[in-house]
Amino acid sequence: MSPSQPSAPQTDPTAGPPADGDDAVPAALTARAPHVPADRLVAEMVPPPRFQGARFDTYIPDAKQPSQAEAVQVLSDFADGIDAGRAGAGKRRWFARKPAAPQGPRGVYLDGGYGVGKTHLLASLWHATPAPAERKAFGTFVELTNLVGALGFQQTVRTLGDHKLLCIDEFELDDPGDTVLVSTLLGKLVDAGVALAATSNTLPGKLGEGRFAAADFLREIQGLSAHFRPLRIDGEDYRHRGLPEAPAPYDDETVTRTAYRTPGASLDDFPSLLDHLSKVHPSRYGAMCDGIEAVCLTDVQAVPDQSTALRLVVLADRLYDREVPVVTSGKAFDELFSDEMLRGGYRKKYYRAISRLTALARDAGALVADAR
């Protein structure tokens, strides 16, 4: 369903829009509160636009990290074997009390740091799996929990149970309740013969500790451990590999001028946007960004609390998925989260948001240059 018609942005248009009359008034994210029906949540469980073209042969392994090339081969073989592994799974035999157990690992877990290409590889697996799009699903951990909330547990099992593959990006280990919920769901899907693949992040401070993230993942999903093969992917964040640092924030006038001179741009005051996010369910943030070609934000400040920070992380993920550049004034992205937050239980999410927003800020450089 289309988002509600945006109204004029809350940022003062006198702060620096261009004088000529050919520039469109930008949209305002704060004016959008879309309704997203459950069937759209299911239909949209495909790789996001940024990864629609992701394939194993477009993944460029770092020659210094042999685990990256190995991952491509392992996942390619895994995709080829999904049909064979599902044969007979989940079908009750005349004299059997339980469905036949799938042979061998029915899942793979990609363990690695930020920006080593795990999502690219996960999307490549989705594309390589021989099944129509409606028989395979791709979503983040948050999107999966949102789906359960929208459909109910039993209906989610029925909906996904006839799929060949479920890919879960950014599996979260920091919410015990959600982790147990998804663990139970995955158990039902494994029984139905669904192949599983998941990614999560190793914290920067834990990169030297071997399979720390994999051990956490396998412990948290309890009885499913035997169904997953941990696959370590080493390397540095490709978003910063050999690239300059993210541009410093601009002034309000530059941000506003860029918004007015960029077709499809939005323009919002950052504190107002944070307040608006508290009134819109995170499952709707993707729809809130429909049709937005660039996000322009004035007066970026450090987020005031954990709940606000977690909502901002979800928005950052949806913008990154859609390759929407971000132009800002105020504080730099590495100042969004306090030191206490970056040391706390949700630090993985915050580091990911900083990395992704930094990449989107870099992408926005050309828009700013064109607006001058």
- pLDDT tens for each residue of 314-336: 999 999 989 999 999 999 998 99
Query: pLDDT by residue (tens digit) across 71-114?
Result: 999 999 999 998 765 544 444 333 344 444 444 568 998 888 76
pLDDT band for position 264 (50/70/90)? very high
CA distance 51 to 34: 24
Q: At a CB cut-off of 8 Å and minimum separation 6, what does 182 contact?
A: 141, 144, 145, 148, 168, 171, 221
Neighbours of 84 (CB within 10 A): 9
Does the structure show a pLDDT above 90 at 208? no
pLDDT at 13: 42
The enclosing H or E element of 52 equals none
pLDDT band for position 192 (50/70/90)? very high
pLDDT at 185: 92
DSSP letters, 146-189, are HHHHHH-HHHHHHHHTT-SEEEEES---S-HHHHHHHHHHHHHH
Does the structure show a pLDDT above 50 at 207? no
Query: pLDDT by residue (tens digit) across 49-77?
Result: 889 999 999 999 988 999 999 999 999 99
pLDDT at 116: 83
Does the structure show a pLDDT above 90 at 282? no
Q: At a CB cut-off of 8 Å and minimum separation 6, what does 327 contact?
A: 250, 254, 255, 258, 259, 294, 295, 296, 297, 361, 364, 367, 368
Neighbours of 252 (CB within 10 A): 18
pLDDT at 205: 44
Mean per-residue pLDDT, 356-366: 93
Burial of 123 (0-12, 13-18, 19+ CB in 10 A): buried
Mean per-residue pLDDT, 23-48: 89
pLDDT band for position 258 (50/70/90)? very high
CA atoms within 13 A on the CB side of 205: 6
Average pLDDT, the chain: 82
pLDDT at 41: 85
Q: At a CB cut-off of 8 Å and minimum separation 6, what does 44 contact?
A: 286
Does the structure show a pLDDT above 80 at 222? no
pLDDT band for position 5 (50/70/90)? very low
pLDDT at 201: 62
pLDDT at 94: 31
pLDDT at 8: 39
Does the structure show a pLDDT above 50 at 10? no
Looking at per-residue confidence, does 352 or 18 come out higher?
352
Does the structure show a pLDDT above 60 at 123? yes
Does the structure show a pLDDT above 60 at 40? yes
pLDDT band for position 274 (50/70/90)? very high
Q: Lowest mean pLDDT: which of 193-202, 231-240, 318-327?
A: 231-240
Q: Lowest mean pLDDT: which of 109-123, 163-177, 211-225?
A: 211-225
pLDDT band for position 352 (50/70/90)? confident
How many Å from the N-terminal Cα to the C-terminal Cα in the chain? 36
Helix (H, G, I), strand (E, B) or coil at 55: coil
pLDDT at 262: 96
pLDDT at 241: 54
The enclosing H or E element of 321 equals helix 306-321
pLDDT at 22: 60
Q: At a CB cut-off of 8 Å and minimum separation 6, what does 320 contact?
A: 50, 356, 357, 359, 360
Q: Lowest mean pLDDT: which of 63-77, 123-137, 224-238, 277-291?
A: 224-238
